[in-house]
Chain A
């Protein structure tokens, strides 16, 4: 299945986000996943992009989003989790979870959050 088809299928209910930063985020992670199996690369890059966009939608570390937007953010995180379960090695799944934990603790502690993109790119190195 081509990368376009994979991404299109995984965007169900999240189509509007593609033009709202998700496509840029996706492209930025493609380089970080170049060492993975080529069939897994689109799903892994999309998983990282969904986390980045998801926590932005939720307002993590800033002002909490309104209910419908928060739920869209939740769906982004959940879909990312499923994509990682499908395509990522166990070590990368753990590293991604730790990245979100780190962001969440910073937000709950009202401390400045680290750059999510840096955290996620590093998480790919855990393979």
Chain B
């Protein structure tokens, strides 16, 4: 609900002030999408009318008012001798009060799709009956505002994905669905399905249910890769819960990962869009190839910037890019839009991974500091610290040896003191800026602000 005052000045004793455009502005400014605009005169000699703004007709109205309640027609209200508490400047305006009785002091106007609902010839007038004066109208706008509308759409589409995920897990055999359900229910940012859903609304063919099916499949695929990843990295916890490999053994982890890899590709094939199937399949291949590179690079830990980018482009960014491109392909967007969104996803994906690397050095992240160091996971802050002229030699010496708590703590300190975190942060921000630039050249049907916000939130882990 939004409340305001509309102030204006009249120039004549009787005057029809057309306030339609000002009311339209208020609806737009408030972002009211669907609802009502209430207006109420705050004066006893100011009426409200909805009628046609045609000058001769307005003179007819004025004449009508004059006929029905003429000026100086012996109104008792104007007999000051018989009234109490009269102000010094009290006007003789019995006619104006009587005329107001013939009009109305309030009105409710409907708003739909962000516009006042008015007929072709309808205008809204404040009718001055005792001017000239300073006047004000109270207005209130209530209903669903654009921001809430966007939030509602976002909530609805996110709910669709969650429902689709639950539905798919419900029909799967327990030995595979139980571990996956634990992982899915433990949370996660759901950035990839969100990207699918957003980009699936860009082209001319918008089908929320197919988009939700694709989004859920992409999320299942992502989780399937995590299950194998956790076994490879010997991780014991993910999203605050034991990993499938740690809780149920590597054999179960292999089987659950394979099942959901296959199921996700099946769900995507069942959508029946060959471009979408190819896009996701290519991303999956890039992910798997990069995981091999990632493990191979651990021999040269912490690696270098180029190797880091090559691995991250495949391991993380490929699915971000595919999520963006496949959603747009599903909606039959133009090739230019699909390509721009693919580049946007790639840049956001790399930035996301850089931000994720920084979390490992943040005591307030809720995760143990230095987990990536301990597991010798590719990490850009670590690469920069190892290259640093001052702290680099000590970082490299520590990483070359056994990594106990003391060594991990010392490496984290050196990374923090080297300025590496600020450097990575700046690089991630620059990638987000480049991703936003990609959106500048294409028509996105109002989705640009959401995609920009999503890109920024990918690197802002406090968001």
Residues of A within 8 A of B (CB): 13, 55, 58-65, 67-68, 70-72, 74-75, 77-79, 81-82, 84-86, 90, 93-94, 96-101, 103-105, 107-109
Contacts and interface: CB of A to CB of B under 8 A. Distances in A.
Nearest to B296: A68
Given A64-B250, A85-B277, A94-B269, A105 B288 contact: no
Chain B interface helix/strand/loop/mixed: helix
A101 B285 contact: no
The 4 A-B residue pairs whose C-beta atoms are closest, nearest first, are A97-B266, A100-B262, A64-B250, A104-B259
A56 to B, nearest CB: 12
Contact of B256 (A71, A85, A104): A104
B231 A60 contact: no
22 contacts: A13-B289, A58-B258, A63-B251, A64-B249, A64-B254, A71-B228, A74-B228, A74-B288, A77-B262, A78-B281, A78-B287, A81-B265, A82-B278, A82-B281, A84-B281, A86-B281, A93-B269, A97-B269, A100-B259, A104-B259, A107-B251, A108-B175
A94 to B, nearest CB: 5
A94 B271 CA distance: 11
B297 to A, nearest CB: 12
Contact residues on B (Cβ < 8 Å of other chain), bracket = 35 or more
Given A71-B291, A82-B282, A109-B173, A93 B255 contact: no
Contact of A75 (B175, B289, B296): B289
Interface in B271-300: 272, 274, 277-278, 280-282, 284-285, 287-289, 291-292, 295-296
A101 B289 CA distance: 22
Contact of B258 (A62, A93, A100, A109): A100
Contact of A82 (B175, B254, B257, B285): B285
Chain A interface helix/strand/loop/mixed: helix
Nearest to B279: A85
B292 A97 contact: no
A107 B232 contact: no
A103 B292 CA distance: 24
A85 B283 CA distance: 12
Interface string B317-351: 00000000000000000000000000000000000
A18 B252 CA distance: 28
A42 B252 CA distance: 33
A60 B231 CA distance: 14
Given A64-B251, A81-B281, A108 B265 contact: no
Interface centre among B254, B274, B280, B287 (most CB of A within 10 A): B254
Nearest to A86: B278
B255 A107 contact: yes
A72 B176 contact: no
B385 interface: no
A13 B296 CA distance: 13
A105 B173 contact: yes
A105 B176 contact: yes
Given A78-B288, A82-B278, A97-B263, A59 B254 contact: yes
Given A72-B292, A79-B285, A85 B278 contact: yes
Contact of B255 (A13, A98, A108): A108
A5 B369 CA distance: 49
A61 B288 CA distance: 21
B373 to A, nearest CB: 19
Contacts of A79: 285, 288
Contacts of B274: 85, 90
Given A77-B288, A81-B285, 9 more contacts: A58-B258, A61-B255, A64-B231, A71-B291, A85-B280, A94-B266, A104-B176, A105-B259, A107-B254
Contacts of A58: 254, 258
A102 B262 CA distance: 10
